[in-house]
Amino acid sequence: MHFDLQKVFPSASPRRVFMTACAAVALLGSMAAPAAAQQAGSGWQPGPGGVLDNTYSGFIDQPTAGGTVPGSGSFAVTGWFVDQTAQGWAGADQGQVWLGTMDGGGKMLAQLSIAQSRPDVATALGNPFYAASGFVGVVQGSSVPSGAQTLYVYMHTPGKGWWFKTANVTGGGAAAAAAPAPSAPAATTTGGAPTGTITAPTEGQNVNAKGSSQFTISGAANDPSAGPGAIDSVDVWIFGERDSGSGTDLGTATLNGDGTWSLSFTPTKFPSTHTNIYVYIHSKATGQTTELIRGFNIVG
């Protein structure tokens, strides 16, 4: 589209025509800016281990602020997150949704799948690596009590800890369900979810993908009630959680009998990039599974 402003304003001086044109260009530019750019205000606050400068942009798309989440079924938590000092990627290696704060007695509601496609963010912020800045998770509606609630979306950045943003919602779940009638205890073993650690790779470690050598992923696992002997499987995935549809199953780790586990894989089979491994520890005593996440770099 072309306008001859000298014809539109025939009596105006050339300087005034030029200034009018600049203002029009600025106005059109602001109108055309992608939604991501308009939502890129920080608003992120330091959580556990949160250190150094706040260099983050991002937005919680769903649930919308002040919206109502269902009391049954499930609902999605989606949005995007960028550490503007990250080089070659969007900057987050983990994400979680909490009801209440992570370090203040809150409850984790869901793990987030990160590095989701957000080309609008890349375009708005002018960095092609931010096209993998999206996050998505699924929360059970019954886990959010009725009434005014605050959801905390936490994102983890290597070396700078956890940072969070909040969404105030109205829950549709029961605030306090009536106590059920007494019944005989179920014939199951009580106890908490299994615990574990990942010792290798370390957070942000560079894993060499040259040659044909293997790298050993290792860690420890334990059932808090029944001990390490109750751990019957440790499964390891890469490039996505096992239910995400995008992950790759590296296999089932070897249980070493002393509470440790290990699994070797060949890095040359994968592209050089920053990625996560997802470790699923299962206890046969309780039937519960715990997920661990570790970010690292495959370098060629």
Hey, is 274 helix, strand or coil? Answer: strand
Confidence band of 191 (pLDDT split at 50, 70, 90): low
Adjacent-strand bridge partners of 293: 278
Token couple for 118: 């957000």
- Alpha-carbon distance of 180 to 288, in angstroms, equals 24
**CA 219 from centre of chain:** 22
Topology (CATH level 3) of domain 195-299: Immunoglobulin-like (2.60.40)
**pLDDT of residue 20 exceeding 60:** no
Q: Identify the pLDDT of residue 134.
A: 94
Answer yes or no: are the C-beta atoms of 108 and 98 closer than 8 Å: yes
H/E stretch holding 19 reads: helix 14-32
Residue at token pair 């949005």: 79
CATH 2.60.40.10 fits 36-171, yes or no: yes
Q: Summarize the confidence of residues 90-98 as an average pLDDT.
A: 94
DSSP string, 108-155: EEEEPEEEE--HHHHHHHT-GGGGG-EEEEEEEGGGSBSEEEEEEEEE
Residues of CATH 2.60.40.10 domain(s) within the chain?
36-171, 195-299
Peptide bond into 201 cis (omega under 30): yes
- Alpha-carbon distance of 140 to 109, in angstroms, equals 8
Mean model confidence pLDDT for the chain: 80
Q: Summarize the confidence of residues 128-150 as an average pLDDT.
A: 93
Confidence band of 120 (pLDDT split at 50, 70, 90): very high
Give pLDDT tens digits for 203-232: 778 888 777 688 899 988 888 788 889 999
What pTM, to 2 d.p., does this model score?
0.50
Residue at token pair 């949704």: 97
